[in-house]
Amino acid sequence: MKKLLAILLIAMLAFNWYGYELLVNHLQQRSDRQLEARLDAGEYDQQQLIELSVALDLPYTTDWENFERVDGDVVIDGIHYKYVERKYEQGRMIYKCIPNSDKARLQNARDAFFQLAYDMQRSSDSKQPVNNAPAFKKALSDYEQQIETDPFRMVTIRSGLLYVHAAEACAAGHFNLPAQPPEISLI
């Protein structure tokens, strides 16, 4: 009986540490696959689509006559949108997107769970003063490269990566230094 209770408590602890996050990730992936299948089958309301227009300078490119189906997602003002289709027209890429309410609902549930778990831990430690300082400080934070993915900064054409601006292509492998280099004096 003690072994069974110990196994049960360890299983609950493991679920609290890792299981809930894995469960939410699995549910999000499943809802994304279901939404993709509905979009591929054309089972969506045209009235729910929003249109994003992005200036895109692609030399020697002609306007596309029709929209093409595209996969991807974007977050605008905290709302998750799924790309439905895109079209290049008059130097602009036009994306039609649909709100992904299932993903937002799952993320809100995940955030609420962790907020409740954090509040329960905090209320039990109410005798100790609250310290909001970070537990550790990054020693080399000035030299870390910040990697951000922006779907509007790069364009994929025939599985090749083309940069929209030449300066981004040249600077992709260089790091910014936090100080100005020393001056050299010639005698």
51-110, pLDDT tens digit by residue? 988 888 888 888 889 999 998 888 888 888 899 999 999 889 999 999 988 888 888 888
Q: Name residues whose C-beta falls within 8 Å of residue 160's C-beta, 6 or more positions apart in sequence.
A: none
Sorted by where each begins, the domain ranges of the chain are 1-122
- Token pair listed for 33: 């696959």
Predicted confidence band at 14 (pLDDT cuts at 50, 70, 90)?
confident
Q: Specify the DSSP class assigned to residue 16.
A: I
Look at residue 85 in the predicted model and tell me its pLDDT: 92
Assess contact for 59 and 25: CB atoms under 8 A. no
Q: Is 93 exposed, middle or buried (0-12, 13-18, 19+ CB in 10 A)?
A: buried
- Arithmetic mean of pLDDT, 147-171: 49
Q: CA–CA separation, 37 vs 111, rounded Å?
A: 27
CA distances from 166 to 82, 94, 104 (A): 28, 22, 36
Look at residue 158 in the predicted model and tell me its pLDDT: 38
